[in-house]
């Protein structure tokens, strides 16, 4: 049955697929589910975040390098991947959609919604996923491309099954479930922080917990926790493949795998749309479909 199941994860930039829901994707690939990553932009306006690679020749060839990094990551995860072809908007601190005109004119986030959603509608109709994942209405965090990624995914989820819309992209296909990634939540962060302290280790979350605006926490929105701890190593290998974006000795890798696996062995999601009946809470993105 798993071979008939298809999952699509829609992400803003190369590397996002490896830091958000990647272990769950690797688990589903292992089960025989077909998994497609749709990458909205090429990360052209990203930075070199790994100081070890912060050299002029890297900056000159950054778009091509990020494409090669994506190829390596998708091989590690075992997923298919498609570029939607838009240009990275760049990072604007404290971005809100009423500031969109401050972004470069060719930015993904400045595209009209129906134009930006069109290649995703086409990909959905070609790949025919039952389940789609993306970011919440705030983009997970306020990055223009993440918010636009959310907007086009909701648009495409609702339009792909409508025979009167995007007629040029073939037969309609209605996905059954839409999820938002909810990996960075208060409950998970506190649990891992406390486990690190109990093990006599410094917690990389200490400063974040002190400064966190807990009024904005979305832990209560989590509906679905997918057990995938045994694939955390695959996730980390895929993340390391994005070498310009991730310091292999940096923040992402300071928590030992065994502590993560014992303390919080799931990837967490919010079920945002469903055309089928399902019972909450869930432990499977395909609950109600198997």
Q: Which residues are annotated as a binding site?
A: 13, 16, 146
Q: Which residues contact 95 (CB under 8 A, 6 or more apart)?
A: 142, 143, 144, 147
CA distances from 53 to 62, 88, 213, 245, 285 (A): 11, 21, 33, 9, 37
- Where does residue 55 rank: exposed (0-12), middle (13-18), buried (19+ CB within 10 A)? exposed
Sheet holding 224-227, edge to edge: 80-86, 34-41, 6-11, 131-134, 177-181, 266-274, 224-227
Handedness of CA 226, 271, 30, 243 (dihedral sign): negative
d(CA 243, CA 55): 13
H helices present in 61-185, as ranges: 62-77, 113-127, 144-159
Name the E strands within the chain: 6-11, 34-41, 80-86, 131-134, 177-181, 224-227, 266-274
Q: Let me know: does 242 contact 68? Beta carbons within 8 Å.
A: no
Annotated binding residues for Zn(2+): 13, 16, 146
d(CA 142, CA 148): 10
β pairing state of 266-274 and 34-41: unpaired
d(CA 244, CA 69): 8
């Amino acid at each position: 049955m798993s071979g008939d199941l298809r999952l699509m994860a829609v992400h803003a930039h190369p590397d996002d697929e490896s830091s958000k829901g990647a272990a769950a994707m690797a688990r589903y690939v292992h089960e025989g589910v077909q998994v497609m990553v749709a990458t909205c932009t090429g990360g052209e306006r990203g930075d070199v975040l790994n100081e070890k690679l912060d050299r002029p020749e890297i900056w000159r060839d950054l778009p091509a390098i990020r494409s090669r990094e994506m190829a390596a990551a998708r091989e590690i995860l075992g997923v298919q991947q498609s570029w939607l072809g838009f240009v990275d908007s760049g990072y604007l601190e404290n971005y809100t959609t009423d500031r969109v005109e401050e972004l470069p004119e060719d930015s993904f986030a400045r595209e009209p919604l129906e134009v930006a959603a069109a290649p995703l509608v086409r990909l959905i109709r070609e790949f025919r996923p039952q389940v789609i994942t993306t970011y919440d209405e705030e983009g997970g965090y306020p990055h223009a491309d993440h918010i636009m990624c959310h907007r086009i995914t909701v648009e495409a989820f609702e339009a792909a099954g409508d025979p009167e819309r995007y007629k040029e992209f073939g037969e309609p296909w209605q996905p059954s479930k839409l999820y938002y990634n909810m990996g960075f939540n208060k409950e998970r962060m506190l649990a891992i922080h406390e486990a690190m302290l109990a093990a006599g280790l410094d917690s990389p979350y200490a400063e974040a917990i002190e400064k966190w605006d807990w009024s904005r926490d979305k832990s209560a929105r989590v509906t679905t926790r997918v057990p995938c701890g045994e694939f955390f190593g695959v996730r980390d290998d895929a993340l390391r493949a994005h070498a310009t974006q991730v310091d292999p000795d940096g923040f992402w890798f300071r928590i030992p795998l065994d502590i993560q696996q014992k303390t919080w062995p799931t990837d967490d999601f919010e079920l945002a749309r469903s055309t089928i009946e399902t019972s909450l809470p869930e432990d499977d993105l395909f609950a109600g479909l198997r």
